Amino acid sequence: MAQEFKDILYEVGENAVRITINRPDVFNAFRTQTVEELIQAFRMADEEKSVNTVIFGGAGDKAFCTGGDQKVHLSEDGLYGPRGMVGLPIEELQSAIRDCRKVVIARVQGFAIGGGNVFATICDLTIASENAKFGQVGPKVGSVDPGFGTAYLARIVGEKKAREIWFLCRRYSAQEALAMGLVNKVVAHEQLDAECEAWAAEINALSPTAIAIAKRSFNADSENIRGISFMGVAAVKGYYQSEESREGVRAFNEKRKPDFKKYA
Ligand SMILES: CC(C)(COP(=O)(O)OP(=O)(O)OC[C@H]1O[C@@H](n2cnc3c(N)ncnc32)[C@H](O)[C@@H]1OP(=O)(O)O)[C@@H](O)C(=O)NCCC(=O)NCCSC(=O)c1cc(O)c2ccccc2c1O
């Protein structure tokens, strides 16, 4: 029986499994259900025998993903929902992407912001449209990724650049992301799907077992970050329940600048 999803699309194509966040109205921000479905989808993709690649994207042309859904985050308890430490099991999803034996390609158009930027960071490869914009917003909106989004980002772009990304919350163009090693290739927007398919076809011709062993081997070196992430999310839970974090969430939703001055 075909799996029914509400927040995502799951398709098995000739060269790749395509997993797509399908919430374009909120720039493909994720809520608890989205994260649960993505975990299930990556586990299904892991078992898919016909291809070596997953193409992970977002629906519409505005965004790949802009992280946690800040409208849902306006909850009474400061959490996103009922599941896991902070209401959505984001650290389990990051693990599912890393544990998936396929090569996961992030297909990035528009914004890859917050938790969406973390997805692009942890995917094995990233192919971006020339209109893509990357960046972090955590310290602006009362959040932080305490694992792969910080420590692993530093391994990709270097410590100085990773700290700049988190401490200044700027946006970076696709070309700037390419220059810092966050992206493998930038293409014209109309070429994005064709380029992702071409990379998947090339990978599909290779040995699945060698690919899976290589991926595990690459992951082994940064595996300690998984433990840091699981512990860090417990700290983020406490932060989300604080007035300081809630000010960030409220300010985003009220379309104003946050006032964090009294928390320094
Ligand atoms: C993405 C933007 C930079 C776009 O800015 P722009 O000025 O072009 O447009 P708007 O700001 O007006 O947005 C247009 C429209 O989209 C809605 N929207 C965009 N992003 C979200 C979102 N994440 N949630 C909900 N809605 C969103 C926006 O409200 C507008 O709709 P209207 O109906 O009001 O017109 C900019 O939008 C932006 O910066 N977005 C915020 C991104 C954000 O705050 N993301 C969450 C970061 S925190 C996170 O992702 C995260 C959560 C966790 O729980 C974690 C847990 C553990 C570890 C890590 C975690 C983590 O990283």
| ipTM for the complex shown | 0.96
Per-residue pLDDT at 249: 96
Q: Is 66 annotated as a binding residue?
A: yes
Name the residue with tokens 């034996």.
Answer: 101
- Number of domains observed in the structure of the chain: 1
Arithmetic mean of pLDDT over the chain: 96
Atom of ligand 1 lying closest to residue 135 CA: 3
Per-residue pLDDT at 82: 87
Per-residue pLDDT at 76: 87
Domain-located, residue 259? no
* Domain around 183: 8-191+204-219
Domain-located, residue 227? no
Q: Is 240 annotated as a binding residue?
A: yes
Instruction: Report how far ligand 1's centroid is from the alpha carbon of 174 (Å).
Output: 19
Q: pLDDT tens for residues 200-236?
A: 999 999 999 999 999 999 999 999 999 999 999 999 9
Burial of 47 (0-12, 13-18, 19+ CB in 10 A): exposed
225 C-beta closer than 6 A to ligand 1: no
Kindly report the CATH number assigned to the domain that includes residue 92.
3.90.226.10
252 C-beta closer than 6 A to ligand 1: yes
Domain-located, residue 236? no
No. of helices (H) and no. of strands (E), the chain:
11, 10
Average pLDDT rounded to a whole number, residues 2-24: 94
Q: Is 122 annotated as a binding residue?
A: no
Q: Is 255 annotated as a binding residue?
A: yes
Mutate to test the pocket of ligand 1, among 21, 23, 27, 35 (most ligand atoms within 8 A of CB): 27
Instruction: Report how far ligand 1's centroid is from the alpha carbon of 152 (Å).
Output: 22
Domain-located, residue 33? yes
Q: pLDDT tens for residues 83-130?
A: 988 999 999 999 999 999 999 999 999 999 999 999 999 999 999 999
pTM of the entire structure?
0.96
Q: Which two tokens stand for residue 154?
A: 């530093």
Domain-located, residue 235? no
- On whether the CB atoms of residues 122 and 154 are closer than 8 A, the answer is no
Domain-located, residue 13? yes
Domain-located, residue 159? yes
Domain-located, residue 262? no
Average pLDDT rounded to a whole number, residues 250-264: 96
Per-residue pLDDT at 2: 54
Percentage of the chain surpassing pLDDT 70? Answer: 99
Strands 171-173 and 133-135: antiparallel
Instruction: Report how far ligand 1's centroid is from the alpha carbon of 212 (Å).
Output: 34
Atom of ligand 1 lying closest to residue 229 CA: 58
Q: pLDDT tens for residues 33-81?
A: 999 999 999 999 999 999 999 999 999 999 999 999 999 998 888 889 8
